[in-house]
Chains A and B, each alone.
Chain A
């Protein structure tokens, strides 16, 4: 096959154009529905992705508040207690 024959074949084939009007019918409606669904899915997906971080945050916060409460409830540090005892002995 030479170039001219190929050009003629293409020239004839070019006369045929895709006819897509039926496929295009209400396409934007279907597309917008898919876009909305994808946005919902991506929000849900982000929720799942963030869940471990949220759980870790809750645990950290719990530990922190437990530590703070424990420290608040505990008697004064030993060094301070010793110091007060020494002062009382000196005074007496």
Chain B
């Protein structure tokens, strides 16, 4: 039997990878790496940490693959593992204001006008530096709700927290961020 190629349907790739087919797993990685990198880049302090974090996430995917039953789409399952792994990373890593993730990871601006781009980059820098001072849970919830623009339901599903919990953490995180931003403005 030939290994399924990149254009094979997802279920076939997942089943083949569950049977230990390395090519099928590599095809799944190719398919989902952009999504995982986009999530991990929000929490990594540099390209090396980003690579390590993305590798950790996919190794976890590989280890847990047998447990995937197809109740939710595979991409959602991968995103959930990625978010939880990033949360573990945030909890383990002590960030300081000078280690906000924007310096080493490249960021692109959607708006093409020079003035708007400068504004966006400046806002992103301000937010990133302030968020670096937040505890892991607040940072995660604000990143997903405000920077990734995800709904409360999506965040609840990705983190495994209840919707009420997400809303509570979100509003506490906003309040704390406002304090930090005000303190930074006064400095």
Binary interface encoding of chain B residues 11-36 relative to chain A, with 1 for a CB under 8 A from any of its CBs, else 0 = 00000000000100110011001100
Q: How far is the CB of B147 from chain A (nearest CB, A)?
A: 6
Pairwise interchain contact A20-B174, C-beta atoms closer than 8 A: no
Which residues, 124 to 158 on B, are CB-close (under 8 Å) to A? 124, 126-128, 146-147, 149
What residues of chain B lie closer than 8 Å to A73, measured between beta carbons? none
Which residues, 1 to 28 on A, are CB-close (under 8 Å) to B? 1, 3, 6, 9-10, 12-20, 22-24, 27-28
Pairwise interchain contact A22-B106, C-beta atoms closer than 8 A: yes
User: Which of B106, B110, B121 counts the most chain A CB atoms within 10 A?
Assistant: B106
What residues of chain A lie closer than 8 Å to B34, measured between beta carbons? 20, 24
What residues of chain B lie closer than 8 Å to A3, measured between beta carbons? 174
What residues of chain B lie closer than 8 Å to A91, measured between beta carbons? none
Cα distance A1–B176 when bound, in Å?
11
**Shortest Cβ distance from B131 into A: residue:** A13
Q: Which of B49-57, B72-80, B161-169 contacts A (4 or more CB under 8 A)?
A: B49-57
Cα distance A22–B34 when bound, in Å?
11
How many residues of B sit at the interface, in one of the four size bands? 35 or more
Q: How far is the CB of B13 from chain A (nearest CB, A)?
A: 13
Say which residue of B30, B50, B111, B124 sits within 8 Å of A23 (CB atoms).
B50
Pairwise interchain contact B120-A12, C-beta atoms closer than 8 A: yes
Binary interface encoding of chain A residues 22-58 relative to chain B, with 1 for a CB under 8 A from any of its CBs, else 0 = 1110011111101100100000000000000000000
How many residues of A sit at the interface, in one of the four size bands? 20 to 34
Cα distance A18–B146 when bound, in Å?
15
Pairwise interchain contact B127-A9, C-beta atoms closer than 8 A: yes
Pairwise interchain contact B116-A14, C-beta atoms closer than 8 A: no
A/B pair count, beta carbons within 8 Å: 111
What 5 pairs across the A-B complex have the smallest Cβ distances? A18-B41, A12-B123, A15-B120, A20-B37, A16-B124
28 example contacts (A-B, Cβ-Cβ < 8 A) are as follows: A1-B178, A1-B182, A6-B177, A9-B181, A10-B123, A10-B127, A10-B147, A13-B120, A15-B124, A16-B120, A16-B124, A18-B41, A18-B105, A19-B105, A19-B106, A20-B50, A23-B51, A23-B105, A24-B37, A27-B29, A27-B33, A28-B26, A28-B29, A30-B55, A31-B29, A31-B58, A32-B29, A35-B59
Given contacts A9-B126, A15-B123, A35-B22, 19 further A-B pairs with CB under 8 A are A1-B185, A6-B178, A13-B126, A13-B128, A15-B116, A16-B108, A16-B123, A18-B108, A20-B34, A20-B41, A22-B106, A23-B47, A23-B105, A24-B34, A27-B54, A28-B26, A30-B55, A32-B26, A32-B29
